[in-house]
Amino acid sequence: MKRIFLLVMTNLAVVTVLGLVWNVLDANFGLTEKMMAMGLPAGFGYIAVMSLALGFGGAFISLWMSKGAAIRSMGVHIIEQPTTQEERWLFNVVQRQAQKVGIEMPDVGIFHSPEPNAFATGARKNDALVAVSTGLLEQMNADEIEAVLGHEMSHVANGDMVTQTLLQGVLNTFVIFFSRVIAHIVNSLLSGNRDSNSGESYGATYFIVSMIAQVLLGFLATIIVMWFSRHREFHADKGGAELAGREKMIAALRRLQQAHPHDLPGEMAAFGIAGDIGHGLKRLFMTHPPLEERIAALQSNRY
């Protein structure tokens, strides 16, 4: 749950910063008055437009920063010129798969981690990053690594990073909008029982209720995003099976069952090859389906 809390708070922090920027611009350039002059209402219409700008702004800023942030936070070594046989093999496999799925060669990297894992990220299909852990290279054979790379390349080719960003943007917009609406309703109900000299307390009430509602709605939005993340993992497994072979993909997933890798940190978790196992309510916040379900889906050719 710590990772989920950090994920929600990261999105909340980005949105909050953008909100402060909006308020500064509004105070200095009179955005509200200009919107009213254009025929836009100053009430919920203003909130809706602000929510749209902040919701998608936060999501796309995260996407734009994802590749560089992943390289720095994970300590990824980018293979610019392969110097070892292992690096040459890794580079050649990704190059071959990129040609098969019709995208430009992504950056290929290795990060230090004892756990077998890999991830893909990037704002565009043709400017992506595919990275594998040292643990994966040590614990898997060539066929299994090829399947894992195919899984990650499928994420890139399917545009999963952009799709999730659009979904996150829509949900951010609704979270911001309805948190303000709830705060407005609560503030209006309370103001009916107070005199006109307590305007400052109304402002504080509005802010506190808005923040609480934003956090609670943010958790609900995260459940939807995690459902989508689990759903697309099945399609990435299918893509990996098409690129490397179904038996290789199944073998790679079985190897992961033995290793029990944890989620990658931050927003890379959704794009790793595997993640934490959840039970009960925690299952709603899982980035990946259970490995046995993914193996069963491949065996039955459901996806």
CB 107 within 8 A of CB 128: yes
Over residues 138-155, mean pLDDT: 96
Neighbour-count burial of 211, counting CB atoms closer than 10 A to its CB (0-12 exposed, 13-18 middle, 19+ buried): middle
Tokens of 12: 């909340």
pLDDT of residue 132: 95
The per-residue pLDDT for range 156-191, each reduced to its tens digit, is 999 888 888 888 888 888 888 888 878 877 877 877
Which segments of 105-198 are extended strands (E)? Answer: 107-111, 118-121, 129-133
Strand arrangement, sheet containing 107-111: 77-78, 107-111, 129-133, 118-121
Mean pLDDT, rounded, of the chain? 80
The per-residue pLDDT for range 232-276, each reduced to its tens digit, is 999 999 999 999 999 999 999 999 988 776 666 655 555 567 665
pLDDT of residue 254: 94
pLDDT over 80 (residue 116): yes
Tokens of 240: 């990996």
pLDDT of residue 87: 94
pLDDT of residue 238: 94
From residue 53, give the alpha-carbon distance in Å to each of 18, 22, 179, 279.
9, 9, 15, 36
pLDDT over 70 (residue 33): no
First to last CA, the chain: 29
Percent of all residues in the chain with a pLDDT value above 70, rounded to a whole number: 73
Rounded Cα gap, residues 199 and 129, in angstroms:
51
The per-residue pLDDT for range 187-239, each reduced to its tens digit, is 778 776 554 444 444 467 878 888 899 889 988 998 998 899 899 999 999 99
Q: Which of 80, 138, 146, 152 is catalytic?
A: 152
Q: What is the pTM of this model?
A: 0.75
The residue type found at 48 is A
pLDDT of residue 14: 58
pLDDT of residue 239: 94
The per-residue pLDDT for range 70-90, each reduced to its tens digit, is 888 888 999 988 989 999 999
Which residues lie across from 132 on neighbouring strands?
Answer: 110, 118
pLDDT of residue 26: 62
**Selection from 120, 153, 129 nearest residue 271 by Cα:** 120
Give SS3 for 47: helix
Rounded Cα gap, residues 71 and 109, in angstroms:
9
Check if 152 is active-site. Answer: yes
Tokens of 244: 């490397």
CA angle 104, 287, 10 (to 5 degrees): 85
Q: 68-91 b/e with 16+ CB inside 10 Å = b?
A: eebbeebebeebeeeeeeebeebb
The per-residue pLDDT for range 259-269, each reduced to its tens digit, is 776 666 655 55
